[in-house]
Each structure stands twice: as structure tokens, then as C-alpha cells.
Amino acid sequence: MLAAQRDTGSGGRNDMGNNDNLRLFHTGEHVCGYWPERTARDLVFDPRDERLPAFYPQALQWGFRRSGDIVYRPHCQHCRACVAVRIPIEAFAPNRSQRRNLARNAVIEARVLPAGRDDERLALYRRYLKSRHPAGGMDDHGAHEFDQFLVGSWANTRFLELREAGRLLAVAVTDIDALAMSAVYTFYDPDEASRGLGTLAILKQIEWATRERRRHLYLGYWIAGHDKMDYKRNFRPLEGFDGRRWRPFDAIESA
């Protein structure tokens, strides 16, 4: 991703406030990770900038995401399909389907642990990728990619583990700052997909954020009509970032 060129135009800077000293790059075109038939470009903060860890909470508020040490936001010339979304924690209440999910998985224990790789987590991650992204470029990830993608070097990251009778079922990789949490990535046992472990992971992150008195849980990008991204609209109330400010999701969805 960081075969990047300096963004010499105004694209992406109008909504960045007065932080002209923050180095922001515009990547070259690459295959879209969501719609392979399309090309994409991203805005990326310089990962070598020592100020990035302190600035990361503000970047989340501007609709950016973290992947490893890269903090990015899609910025495609002819497409605005990716909409950053977040859950306002105090206002959230699970719907009927989500309450059934919690009841059905009541035997699962959730624990917050330091981020890191071990053999058990790596094996689950690789099984998930082979099932979820066959021949998609991620299904051959190993230990190096696990560390690079999920842990990074500077973020305040924790792993939320979901276990049943000691068996690891899912891991939700979560970044934490003083006001919010960000759901970076979740991987789970593909043989247990019918249990709704992805939904359960978000519900457990919401419970965790409630305990820690965080205001928001960032969910990354919602993409209308995308079978792997559209589920985020089920967590209500939801807010979406329109490029300048956060708005109620209903207004974003109907725009």
C-alpha cells in the first residue's frame, strides 16, 4: 500500500483542519479490496511520523482506520462507497436478533488480553483466512503477516478472546484510546460460523466499551450492498462519517 506518492493536490486536505504539518500521502491506484473489478486509492499518514500514535484518536474521528502501522482512509476518484461508521455506546441497545445471539452463546467466555501471537491464535487466524478469503491474497498469511497486520508496533491494542470450555473460538483485535475503541479485525472458527461469532464479538466489544466508559466503538467501513460489510447497519443507533462530520446513519444511508 505504501508505494505512495506525495499528494500535491488539495484532495483529502479540506476536511483535515489546520494540521498542515502532518504528512499525508495519496497512494497510487491499486485493486480495490472490496470490489476487485475496481481500482482504489487511499489517503495515508506517514507511518514513520513519531506523532502518529498521539494523533491516531483524531484520525479515527476523521474516518481513518489502522492496518498494522498504516493509518489510511479510502479516497477514490469516482467512488464514495466506503463510509466510516461508529456506535455511540451509551445509546446502543441490542435488537431482538442480537439478544438471541447473546442468549445462544451464553456459555462463551470473553476475556481481554494483551495483543500478541501464539500458536493457537495463529492457527485460528490461518483457518479463518483460508475459509473467508480463499485465493484472495490473504489465505497464505503466516506469523509475519499476523504480527504486521494485527499487532503493529505502536497502537494500544488488546485481543478480546471468545472461548468455550477452554477452546478458542474467536479473537477481536481492538484498539483503545481515552474516548473510544476501534474494532480493527475479527477472526473466528469457520466451523462455528452458524453461531454468529462476528456479531457476538461486536456485542462483547460494546459491553467492554460500556465498562470502560468509552463513547464510541468504531466499526470501520460500511459498504451498501456488500455481503461482507453491510452487516454493520444492524447495530443501531449508528453514525456515519460523510467526509466532514458524523451524522445519524439513516441520513447517510438515504443520501
| Domain stops at, among 59, 82, 105 | 82
Q: Once rounded to an integer, what is the mean pLDDT over residues 236-252? A: 96
Band (pLDDT 50/70/90 cuts) for residue 13 is very low
Task: Tell me, yes or no, whether 124 and 238 share the same domain.
Answer: yes
pLDDT tens for residues 138-181?
667 799 999 999 998 999 999 999 999 999 999 999 999 999 99
pLDDT at 136 over 70: no
Count of domains for the chain: 2
The confidence score (pLDDT) of residue 10 equals 32
The confidence score (pLDDT) of residue 158 equals 98
Task: Tell me, yes or no, whether 47 and 167 share the same domain.
Answer: no
DSSP state, 29? P
Task: Tell me, yes or no, whether 68 and 148 share the same domain.
Answer: no
Contacts of 61 (CB under 8 A, 6+ apart): 246
Q: Cα 206 vs. chain centroid, distance in angstroms?
A: 14
Task: Tell me, yes or no, whether 241 and 115 share the same domain.
Answer: yes
Asked if 240 contacts 246 with a C-beta cutoff of 8 angstroms, the reply is yes
Task: Tell me, yes or no, whether 125 and 223 share the same domain.
Answer: yes
Residue 143 grid cell: 506469523
Task: Tell me, yes or no, whether 78 and 90 share the same domain.
Answer: no
Task: Tell me, yes or no, whether 20 and 45 share the same domain.
Answer: yes
Residue 195 grid cell: 453461531
Residue 26 grid cell: 495519496
Task: Tell me, yes or no, whether 45 and 151 share the same domain.
Answer: no
State the residue for C-alpha cell 451524522: 247
Q: Once rounded to an integer, what is the mean pLDDT over residues 56-65? A: 97
pLDDT at 7 over 60: no
Band (pLDDT 50/70/90 cuts) for residue 85 is very high
Asked if 49 contacts 69 with a C-beta cutoff of 8 angstroms, the reply is no
pLDDT tens for residues 14-37?
344 444 577 899 999 999 989 989
| Domain stops at, among 82, 107, 127 | 82
Asked if 73 contacts 64 with a C-beta cutoff of 8 angstroms, the reply is yes
pLDDT at 98 over 60: yes
Query: Domain of 144?
Result: 86-254
Task: Tell me, yes or no, whether 93 and 45 share the same domain.
Answer: no
Task: Tell me, yes or no, whether 70 and 159 share the same domain.
Answer: no
In this structure, what CATH number is given to the domain that contains residue 128? 3.40.630.30
Asked if 51 contacts 19 with a C-beta cutoff of 8 angstroms, the reply is no
The confidence score (pLDDT) of residue 139 equals 60
Q: Once rounded to an integer, what is the mean pLDDT over residues 208-220? A: 98
Question: Regarding predicted confidence, which is higher, 5 or 46?
Answer: 46
pLDDT at 106 over 80: yes
Task: Tell me, yes or no, whether 200 and 154 share the same domain.
Answer: yes
| Domain stops at, among 54, 82, 110 | 82
Question: In degrees to the nearest 10, what's the CA dihedral of 89, 95, 98, 102?
Answer: 80
Task: Tell me, yes or no, whether 66 and 52 share the same domain.
Answer: yes
Torsional sign, CA 72, 73, 79, 82: positive
